[in-house]
Homo-oligomer: A and B are copies of this chain.
Amino acid sequence: MAQSDTVDRILDAAEELFAERGFSETSLRMITSKAKVNLAAVNYHFGSKNALIHAVFARFLTPFSATLEKAFDELEESCGDQPPTLNQTLWALTESAVRMPQRNEKGISIFMRLLGLAYTQSQGHLRKFLEQEYGDPFSRFMRLLKAATPQLSAVDRYWRIQFMLGATAFTMSSSDALRDILQNKTGVETSVQEIAMRLVPFLAAGMQAEDTMLVPPRGSKVSVA
């Protein structure tokens, strides 16, 4: 090999270990020993551990955000002048994620877990990096959601979007463990695609829930402030 593939080996090992154990729980020494490269290689090629984390995300997110923008383009065009529905918007996102070319069979689930960790773990530098680099497609997704749920008040929509993000990030962030539990219990295998197909209708139904259910059942001691 004329030019070594050290960089890719580091990225592969880091991606997998970060997804398994989180960022601060994964040391550079674990990464370099899994990648079978010298410890100093990380700082030589990436500069720092934080920069390596950014690179792991960029390797997936850059092509993904391009795919997503294209999917939104097609969706909006096919809808003419009326806005895409909630279901269409959610599916456009889901399909873009599921159809991304993957390095291996664990591809999506690894990356979903990383995204979940990014949101959950309070890594300030990561959130800032993701916002700066990939804030645009996210804003566009939010705009589509707004147009698809005109019946919701701004406050309701705001909270329900948080609920959706939560269900998604949380489930994906622990999806490997959850899948294993389910398989042990019922023997059923579940792919990330199938999880996504179960998640979307759950989210869509939640987003469109009737407000009337907001009233607690009789005997409740909770009251609106």
**Residues of A participating in the B interface, judged by any CB pair closer than 8 Å:** 20-22, 24-25, 78, 85, 87-88, 91, 94-95, 98-99, 116-117, 119-122, 154-156, 158-160, 162-171, 173-174, 177-178, 182, 185-186, 188, 190-191, 193-211, 213-214, 216-217, 219-225
Contacts and interface: CB of A to CB of B under 8 A. Distances in A.
Contact of A122 (B20, B154, B163): B20
A42 to B, nearest CB: 20
Nearest to A225: B191
A171 B119 CA distance: 10
Nearest to A166: B170
Contact of A174 (B94, B119, B173, B198): B119
Q: Report the 6 A-B pairs with minimum CB-CB distance, sorted nearest first.
A: A166-B170, A205-B209, A201-B213, A206-B206, A167-B167, A202-B206
A171 to B, nearest CB: 5
Given A170-B166, A203-B206, A214 B198 contact: yes
Given A87-B217, A94-B222, A201-B210, A158 B170 contact: no
A25 B174 contact: no
Do most interface residues of chain A lie in helix, strand or loop, or is the interface mixed?
Answer: helix
Contacts of A198: 156, 159-160, 163, 214
A194 B88 contact: no
Contacts of A206: 167, 202-203, 205-206, 209
Contact of A162 (B171, B193, B216, B219): B171
A208 B205 contact: yes
10 contacts: A25-B121, A87-B213, A94-B222, A155-B186, A158-B186, A159-B171, A162-B170, A166-B170, A193-B223, A205-B206
Contacts of A167: 163-164, 166-167, 170, 206
B122 A222 contact: no
Contact of A91 (B160, B188, B200, B216): B216
Nearest to A189: B225
A220 B213 CA distance: 32
